[in-house]
Amino acid sequence: MKRWVVFVLLAVVFYGCEKTISFDLDEAATVLVVDGSIENGQPPIIILSNSYNYFDEITPDLLEKSFIHDAVVTLSNGSRTHKLKEYSFTNDSNIRIYFYSIDSTNLSTAIIGEFGKQYTLDITSAGKSYRAVTTIPPLAKQIDSLWWKVSPNNPDTTLVILSGRTTDPPGLGNYIRYFTQVDDGPYLPGLNSVYDDQIIDGTTYTIEIEKGIDRNEEIDPDTYSFFSRGDTATVKLCNIDKVTYEFWRTMEYSYSSIGNPFSSPTKVSGNVSGGALGYFGGYAAQYKTLIIPK
């Protein structure tokens, strides 16, 4: 009986201590966001935008207005410097996307990605200057072979597992990021798309290659990693430098922690100086395709 009385008293005390707490959040200062990359055999693609406040509702109109225009963007590979030009296109959602790339009217200084080269990106916008440096590594780590098999634990026999074999070169510091494409669709990164070689250094190993995902769509945990019979599956395996690896490692950890009250806070590790967010990354890419029969 005494225990019951104590329990009731504690409940009353805690109930009486309840208080509605509201936060008056300040508007965060807008900062430059850089989403930039350069791949072997390809021109640079640099997207510049303004940041949003955390609770902003992202609408097509707000997204289109966030792009930064008329910035001075230059790229150097150590031997020449090229001023990039702003372009735009309309995506499948009828949103105008703006980006900077090589100036087609000045191809004499145009820069295309090369293995083993370092690139410096300089940006001037609204009176502020920013810089990022990246490297396209040698194509040291490649896919040796691809194959498929029916998933032993999935009752849907139209779904298959894609596997690959690769050899990691001796010596730590080989970082990779991968994407997959189905038929003529876009290249999408895996849910966890970046890996280091801390455990598999210098070994030949086999790994399941999960199908890439569109992070704007809801993920079905029962089917997201599988390919389907009849797919033409292409794997894009990229050797990347450490700064690119660290950006995507922290970004994907942050993404997977959304909504988890027990996760640790993570700061996304970008490589753009001057107070900007985002990254500029180099990719040494290899493509390998497998046709999965029906």
Q: Mind listing the pLDDT tens digit for each residue in 142-170?
A: 999 999 999 877 777 899 999 999 999 99
Question: Is residue 288 over pLDDT 80?
Answer: yes
The residue-averaged pLDDT of 211-237 equals: 92
pLDDT of residue 5: 44
- Whether the predicted pLDDT of 76 surpasses 70: yes
Hey, is 186 helix, strand or coil?
Answer: coil
Contact (CB, 8 A) for 118 and 78: yes
Cα separation, 277 vs 191, in Å, equals 22
pLDDT-based confidence at residue 258 (cuts at 50, 70, 90): low
User: For the whole model, what pTM was predicted?
Assistant: 0.86
Confidence at residue 65, expressed as pLDDT on a 0 to 100 scale: 85
Task: Report the pLDDT value the prediction gives residue 176, as an integer from 0 to 100.
Answer: 98
More confident residue, 254 or 238: 238
Which domains occur in the chain, in start order? 32-135 (2.60.40), 143-263+283-291 (2.60.40)
Structure tokens at 159: 């779904």
pLDDT for residue 7 = 47
- Report the percent of the chain where pLDDT is more than 70: 86
Can you count the helices (H) and strands (E) in the chain?
A: 3, 17
What value does the mean pLDDT take over residues 84-88?
97
Predicted pLDDT of residue 271: 96
pLDDT digit string, tens, across residues 5-60: 444 444 444 455 555 555 555 566 889 999 999 999 999 999 999 997 766 667 77
As a whole number of angstroms, the distance between CA 238 and CA 136 comes to 9
Q: How confident is the model at residue 120 (pLDDT cuts 50, 70, 90)?
A: very high
276/65: higher pLDDT? 276
**Rounded mean pLDDT of 227-231?**
96
Q: Please tell me the predicted confidence (pLDDT) of residue 114.
A: 98
d(CA 128, CA 272): 13
Would you say residue 241 has pLDDT above 90?
Answer: yes
Q: What would the pLDDT profile of 130-142 be if each residue is shown by its tens digit?
A: 999 999 999 999 9
| Secondary structure of residue 204 in the 3-state scheme | strand
Task: Identify the pLDDT of residue 13.
Answer: 46
Residue 263 near residue 255, CB atoms below 8 Å: no
More confident residue, 22 or 111: 111
Give the chain's mean pLDDT.
88
Report the DSSP beta bridge partners of residue 35: 47, 279
Burial 219-247 (b: 16+ CB within 10 A, else e): eeeeeebbbeeebebbbbbbbbbebbbbb
User: CA 294, CA 292: separation in Å to the nearest integer?
Assistant: 7
Has residue 174 got a pLDDT over 60? yes
Q: Which of 76, 88, 104, 81 is nearest to 48 (CA)?
A: 88
Average pLDDT on 82-97 reads: 92
User: Residue 74 contacts by C-beta under 8 Å, 6 or more apart in sequence?
Assistant: 81, 82, 83, 84, 121, 122
pLDDT greater than 90 at residue 72: yes
Helix H or strand E segment including 207: strand 204-208
Beta bridge partners of 107: none
CA distance 64 to 55: 18
Closest by CA to 35, choosing from 285, 284, 271, is 271
**Integer Cα distance of 172 and 166 in angstroms:** 16
